[in-house]
Amino acid sequence: MKRPSPVVYAGVIFCFAAVLALGKWGPVGAFADAVQARTAAPPGAPSGGAVPVFAPSEDLCEQAAREAPEQRVEPVDARIDPVWKAIPGYDGREADVEATCERIRSMGKDVARKAGIPWVYRPVHPAVGLDDLPPAPVYRGNPAKPAAAIMINVAWGDEHLPAMLNTLEEEGVAATFFLDGTWLSKHRDLAAEILARGHELSNHAWSHPMMSRLADSRQREEIVKTENLLKELGAGNRWFAPPSGDYDQRTVRIAHSLGLRTVLWTLDTIDWKNPPPDAVVQKVARRAEPGVLILMHPTDSAKRALPGIIRALRGKGLVPGTVSHTLSSERIEPPS
């Protein structure tokens, strides 16, 4: 085998020297120095610790403070609508930066950064609430609130109520029961059970009359007698549902003078005609919208339709509950 000539050896040595020179004084050296400077620990940092090459541009709490104004949602005032009459207000919201930062610290910044800013909000109440409006009937909640009220008017019978109560308990739903005073006087124990199981008891007059046909004094008596029984049970009530939906402005004014708002309904299941339960569920699924007040009675049709009604409401993104919850201004945030 032929040995390389001295000229070849000299060429190799020259190339090696050139590489060393570039590494120390040329552009390669400048790049190496820049990388070393970027990865060097800042003054005062402990030695031997791993320092990330790319530090975050800002603290997550600083980011939350910067983005907080974008999280604000303005409240909606209560108003009198020419068609729907009294419509309650709805809370807005604003970001609570201090509480949000506290949540970030409790989660750990790395976890919070991966999950996104865990916002904490506080309510912004409307300037005008339902109680600020003049006496007017209520047919629905605020259309911006994804809630639905289940209102059950009770003036006769009790055989279907236990099953309806069990369904509501199984589904974790509270409803509002508007009780006729004559019925209530004969079913105090059952009414007390309804209340004890977390539901709302409200006023449905005493003897199921057509309120608009009564003199002022008789209208007042119908409401007061039932209200007294509700108070004996410990039910704190705000609502009066006129029997058969019959009322006039005197009814609204008299109820208001007794501290009660007159409530009707948005959607009538007409369950007292005992339609097929599937038809009732389909009607609710088709027509229910945010703020809907759904009228029911303790009938066999309602009893069998109730589970499907609750599922249909939830399927539309609505939170089923009481009249008080649906008509309150309390904000419902969508699931995160």
Question: What are the pLDDT digits (tens) for 6-29?
Answer: 544 445 444 444 444 444 445 444
Residue 336's pLDDT is: 59
- Report how many domains make up the chain: 2
Domain end call among 124, 149, 164: 124
Shared domain for 104 and 209, answered yes or no, is no
Going through the chain in order, the beta strands assigned E by DSSP cover 79-81, 85-87, 92-95, 121-124, 147-154, 176-179, 200-203, 239-240, 261-262, 267-268, 292-296, 319-321
Shared domain for 74 and 142, answered yes or no, is no
Shared domain for 247 and 303, answered yes or no, is yes
Phi and psi at 197, nearest 5°, equal -90, 15
Shared domain for 206 and 71, answered yes or no, is no
Distance CA 88, CA 76 (A): 9
Shared domain for 100 and 159, answered yes or no, is no
**pTM, whole model, 2 decimals?**
0.81
34 occurs within a structural domain: no
Residue 3's pLDDT is: 54
Asked whether the predicted pLDDT for residue 233 surpasses 80, the reply is yes
Domain end call among 100, 124, 148: 124
Shared domain for 79 and 191, answered yes or no, is no
CA dihedral 179, 183, 185, 186 (to 10 degrees): -140
Q: Encode pLDDT of 32-42 as tens digits.
A: 444 344 444 44
**Average pLDDT of the chain to the nearest whole number:** 88
Shared domain for 101 and 199, answered yes or no, is no
Band of residue 94 on the pLDDT scale cut at 50, 70, 90: very high
Share of the chain above pLDDT 70, in %: 82
Residue 51's pLDDT is: 36
Shared domain for 222 and 270, answered yes or no, is yes
Residue 17's pLDDT is: 47
103 occurs within a structural domain: yes
163 occurs within a structural domain: yes
Domain end call among 105, 124, 143: 124
**Domain around 152:** 135-327
Shared domain for 109 and 170, answered yes or no, is no
